Each structure stands twice: as structure tokens, then as C-alpha cells.
């Protein structure tokens, strides 16, 4: 390990980032900066030129970690190792396209962290060495006299110079035939090269082939022959020793295969763990349903049949028990709905978002006919997605908007779409109470709420459902808000 290895952490959870920074320091790495958003990551990479980036996929801002890695590949290439607690197929596919140097599934051990970083650094070193070797090899081809081979295709006789004799482990100044030439090739490649020669001899055309030599040398020597057609049924070309490049390529291939294997193994382990956790959560929530409903029912019976035997304080306590039981029942139902999402495969078709939004808004207005509301829904909003799941997205976002506008004299809600970076983005905007964007990262976590139950009722599950449905479609959801001025939730249904 190089003591000077400098690592940039991109993680918007401050506690997680601090813990990761401490663990890296204990392993002997230097962490000069921690970024929380995509743009900050790009700026810090440009300024400090780290040796490696540990990139959380879900970060603050409009760009996620995969978008940032794509931008880095285009402008300032730097090894990227992804850190994530998610393993949706669509996310993994997007991540693989950026050719990452590793993929760590949270939680991970220090051994896994250290091994993945070392493999990434070694791969980077091999890639740089490969580029440098190719440059030096090109200089040698341009400046030096390489091995020369000339073949009479009619007789199979070959004429070679001293350099070629040395490269092919053949005696100098000794007549060489095609059979002699093939005999010196490693058995693993000999048949393929012989077939290739037959292909270029009838009819005669250009020949280019790479192969291993039959030799006791370690490592094995790789040779490349490039020959062109000359007059008189002759092939003439150069012979090169490409051992350095080929061994670098083989080493790089093995490193990549190791990384892919590690990613697949950890992804499988995570999926199995998630299945067990989902089964456990579903069982617990399902088993809690009956006693909670019994408590709510018995509380209602007490209030209805025995109210005369209770004083005012006792009646209030029973009413509170009933209300809390109902709230708990709603939470359990929401938890069950959330757990079911991971098992649902979206069945895509054309969906009219405008029509669905209008139905949901109409239902809300019927529940509060006295509320003054100004709702605008853009016409002909269409998307390709699962109709049931898309309705759930709009239902949660519109009910949220309606709820948080309750204290306004006039409720204003807008449903529409716009183009962002060439992609169609849908949004739900309101003039509600809004919130401080510093708390935005908490919104999409289950049971996280920015307002008390007394201010606004709810389970804290709705936005988590929205996020999971968007992810199941290959899209994402994010928010922009100003405290006491409203919020706008954006979402996409494709990558």
C-alpha cells in the first residue's frame, strides 16, 4: 500500500462519512475531503486530484453517484468504487456501464474495504502501465528495425533476419519453412495459427496474428506477426515481441474477473439478506394486525357501552388508546405495502397521468368540500409504466401536497412536466409549509417525518413508497423546497 494514497469520500450521511473516514485513516489512507453532492464531488476531484473516489450512489442534488462517475470518465478519469445499500437490477446495470473499479454493498468489513481499494489501485496501475507500454512500443516500431519475415507462399519457404530468428528462438542464417515456423508455436495456439495461414494463402491476403511460443521461458513469450501481400505471391512483414502488453492485458482481465465475481457474490448475499428481512418484517407486521385491531375494537366498545361508568378523564384516555391503535394499524398496513413493493415486477403500458391525477384530486376535494383549492393539471401527461404503481406515486405525492397546504387560505397544487438535461421529468408542486432543504435527505427514509403528528397526521411511509416505485421503473425522485413557501417533488419513470 502506498502511504500517500489520497481518497475522496462522496457520502451525504455525515455519520457514515465520518465513520468511513476514521476506518480509512486506520488503514493508512489519506482522506483530504468529503463531498455530499454531485457538483461538489466534481469540483473537489478537479481541484485535489485524488487517487481514488469512494462514491455513494444515492447522494444530494440532481446527480446521483452514477451520474457523477459518468462525468468523471468523460473529463477527469479517476478510479471509482461504489458504496450502496441498494441492489436493484436497473441500478447495477447503470453502475456497470461506468466501468467502476469496485462495488461495496453496505455494510462491509474493513477487510473488504481494504481489499477492494487495493485491487482498484492495482488495476489502475496496470492500466497506466499498459498505456505507457503501448506508447514505448510504438516508439520502438517507429525508431528501431524490427524483426523481418518474408515468405514465398508457393513453396512455404521463409526468409528471416537475425532479430526475427532471436524472437522466434530459431537458429540464425538457417532456412525456415512454414512447417518449422508452426512447430515453434505453443500447442495451445498452433492449430488456430495454421488455420489462419490457410485462410490468407487462398486467396492471398494480409496476415496478422498473435500467439505464444513453444519455450521454457517464464513468463511465456508472446509474438505478433503482421504481413502484407507483395508481388510474386509473397507475404512480407514484421515480427514483434508483445509479451509485456499481453501479460498486462491478461493480468487486467483477471483483475476485472475478480472484481465482477466479488460484486456478484456480495450482491447475492445482500439479496438473500433482504429476502429474509422482508419475510421477517411481513410476518411481524401481519401478526401485529389482529391484537392492534382488537385493542381498537375493545376501546370503542368501552366508550359506547360503558361511558356512563367512566369519568371525563377516563373517557379521554380510552379515546386516546383508540386513536393510537388506529394510528398503529395504519402504520402496519403501510409497512406491509412497502414490503410488497420489492416483490412486484412492473408491467409497463401507456399511462395517462393527467387522468389519474384528476381522479385523486377530486377525491381529496370531496373529503374537504369547504377548502378553497386551485389545482392545475397539465393535459395529456403520459408515461410508460405500471398503471397501479404509477397511481400509487401520484396518490402519495398529491395527498402529501393536499395535507401540507391545509393551513393556507388557498391551496395551490400543480401537476406537470418539464425537460431537464434532455430527459422528461414529471413534478407535483404545492404552496404548502415547505421545509429546510438541509433535512431533505431524511424525507425518503421510512418513518422519517419533518413534522409532528399533532401538526400533520401521517405514517411517514408514503415518500419511501414513491422512491421504491421510481427505482423499480429505473427512475428516481427528488425534491426542491423552501421553508414556508412550498415544495416541488420531481420524478422520472425511466433511466
Q: What is the pLDDT of residue 374?
A: 92
Query: 20: closest CA among 28, 30, 9?
Result: 9
Q: Give, for 463, the enclosing helix (H) or strand (E).
A: helix 462-472
Q: Where are the alpha helices (DSSP H) in 239-343?
A: 243-305, 312-341
Residue 192 has pLDDT above 50, yes or no: yes
- Residue 312 confidence class, pLDDT cut points 50, 70, 90: confident
Domain boundaries, the chain: 7-140, 145-241, 346-495
Q: What is the pTM of this model?
A: 0.42
Residue 77 has pLDDT above 90, yes or no: no
The model's pLDDT over 283-295, given as tens digits with 9 standing for 90+, comes to 666 666 677 777 7
- 3's grid cell: 502511504
Of 16 and 459, the one with more pLDDT: 16
The model's pLDDT over 457-493, given as tens digits with 9 standing for 90+, comes to 655 677 888 888 888 888 999 999 898 889 999 999 9
Q: What is the pLDDT of residue 139?
A: 64
The model's pLDDT over 207-243, given as tens digits with 9 standing for 90+, comes to 888 999 888 778 888 988 888 888 878 888 888 888 8
Indicate the CATH number of 346-495 among 3.40.50.12280, 3.90.25.10, 2.115.10.20, 3.30.565.10.
3.30.565.10
E runs forming strands in 130-233: 147-152, 157-160, 176-177, 207-212, 222-230
The model's pLDDT over 118-155, given as tens digits with 9 standing for 90+, comes to 998 898 888 888 888 767 755 665 455 477 788 888 88
Cα-based torsion angle of the residue sequence 254, 256, 259, 263 in order, rounded to the nearest 10 degrees: -130
- Residue 427 confidence class, pLDDT cut points 50, 70, 90: very high
Question: 145-241 has which fold?
Answer: Beta-Lactamase (3.30.450)
Q: What DSSP string describes 8-66? A: EEE-S-HHHHHHHHHHHHHTT-B---EE-BHHHHHHHHHHH--SEEEEESS-BSSS-HH
Residues 6 or more apart in contact with residue 446 via CB below 8 angstroms: 335, 338, 460, 461, 464
Edge-to-edge strands, sheet with 411-420: 373-377, 411-420, 423-430, 486-491, 477-482
Query: 14: closest CA among 35, 29, 32, 42?
Result: 35
Query: 63: closest CA among 98, 24, 27, 33?
Result: 98
Q: What is the pLDDT of residue 316?
A: 79
Please state the rounded mean pLDDT for residues 106-113: 85
Question: 7-140 has which fold?
Answer: Rossmann fold (3.40.50)
Residues 6 or more apart in contact with residue 124 via CB below 8 angstroms: 51, 52, 79, 101
SS3 of 371, please?
A: coil
- Alpha carbon 367 to chain centroid distance? 42
SS3 of 418, please?
A: strand
Q: What is the pLDDT of residue 335?
A: 62
Give me the phi and psi of 494, to 5 degrees please: -155, 160
- 488's grid cell: 416541488
Amino acid at each position: 500500500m502506498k502511504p500517500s494514497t489520497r481518497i475522496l469520500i462522496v457520502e451525504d450521511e455525515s455519520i457514515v462519512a465520518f465513520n468511513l473516514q476514521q476506518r480509512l485513516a486506520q488503514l493508512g489512507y489519506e482522506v483530504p475531503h468529503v463531498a455530499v453532492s454531485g457538483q461538489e464531488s466534481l469540483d473537489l476531484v478537479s481541484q485535489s486530484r485524488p487517487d481514488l473516489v469512494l462514491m455513494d450512489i444515492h447522494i444530494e442534488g440532481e446527480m446521483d453517484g452514477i451520474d457523477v462517475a459518468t462525468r468523471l470518465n468523460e473529463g477527469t478519469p479517476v478510479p471509482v468504487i461504489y458504496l450502496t445499500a441498494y441492489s436493484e437490477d436497473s441500478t447495477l446495470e447503470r453502475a456497470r456501464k461506468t466501468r467502476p473499479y469496485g462495488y461495496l454493498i453496505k455494510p462491509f468489513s474493513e477487510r473488504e474495504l481494504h481489499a477492494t481499494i487495493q485491487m482498484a489501485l492495482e488495476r489502475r496501475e496496470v492500466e497506466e502501465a499498459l498505456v505507457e507500454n503501448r506508447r514505448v512500443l510504438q516508439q520502438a516500431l517507429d525508431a528501431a528495425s524490427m524483426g523481418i519475415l518474408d515468405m514465398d507462399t508457393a513453396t512455404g519457404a521463409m526468409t528471416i533476419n537475425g532479430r526475427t530468428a532471436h524472437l522466434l528462438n530459431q537458429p540464425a542464417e538457417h532456412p525456415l519453412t512454414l512447417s518449422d515456423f508452426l512447430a515453434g508455436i505453443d500447442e495451445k495456439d498452433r492449430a488456430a495459427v495454421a488455420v489462419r495461414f490457410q485462410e490468407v494463402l487462398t486467396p492471398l491476403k494480409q496476415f496478422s496474428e498473435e500467439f505464444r511460443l513453444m519455450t521454457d521461458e517464464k513468463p511465456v513469450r508472446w509474438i505478433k506477426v503482421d504481413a502484407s501481400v507483395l508481388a510474386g505471391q509473397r507475404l512480407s512483414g514484421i515480427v514483434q515481441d508483445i509479451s509485456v502488453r499481453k501479460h498486462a492485458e491478461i493480468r487486467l482481465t483477471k483483475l476485472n474477473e475478480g472484481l465482477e465475481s466479488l460484486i456478484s457474490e456480495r450482491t447475492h448475499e445482500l439479496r438473500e439478506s433482504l429476502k429474509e428481512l422482508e419475510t421477517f418484517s411481513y410476518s411481524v407486521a401481519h401478526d401485529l394486525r389482529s391484537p392492534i385491531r382488537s385493542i381498537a375494537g375493545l376501546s370503542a366498545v368501552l366508550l359506547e357501552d360503558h361511558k356512563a361508568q367512566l369519568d371525563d378523564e377516563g373517557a379521554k384516555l380510552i379515546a386516546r388508546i383508540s386513536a393510537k391503535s388506529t394510528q398503529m394499524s395504519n402504520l402496519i398496513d403501510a409497512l406491509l405495502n412497502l414490503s410488497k413493493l420489492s416483490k412486484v415486477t412492473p408491467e409497463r403500458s401507456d399511462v395517462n397521468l393527467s387522468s389519474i391525477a384528476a381522479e385523486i384530486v377530486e377525491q381529496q376535494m370531496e373529503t374537504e368540500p369547504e377548502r378553497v383549492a386551485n389545482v392545475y393539471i397539465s393535459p395529456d401527461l403520459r408515461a410508460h409504466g405500471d398503471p397501479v404503481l404509477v397511481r400509487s406515486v401520484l396518490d402519495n405525492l398529491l395527498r402529501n401536497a393536499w395535507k401540507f397546504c391545509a393551513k393556507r387560505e388557498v391551496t395551490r397544487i400543480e401537476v406537470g412536466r418539464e425537460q431537464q438535461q434532455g430527459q422528461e421529468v414529471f413534478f407535483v408542486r404545492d404552496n404548502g409549509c415547505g421545509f429546510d432543504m438541509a433535512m431533505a435527505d431524511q424525507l425518503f427514509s421510512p418513518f422519517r417525518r419533518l413534522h409532528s403528528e399533532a401538526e400533520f397526521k401521517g405514517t411517514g411511509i408514503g415518500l419511501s413508497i414513491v422512491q421504491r416505485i421510481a427505482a423499480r421503473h429505473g427512475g428516481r425522485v427528488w425534491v426542491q423546497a423552501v421553508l414556508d413557501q412550498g415544495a416541488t417533488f420531481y420524478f422520472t419513470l425511466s433511466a
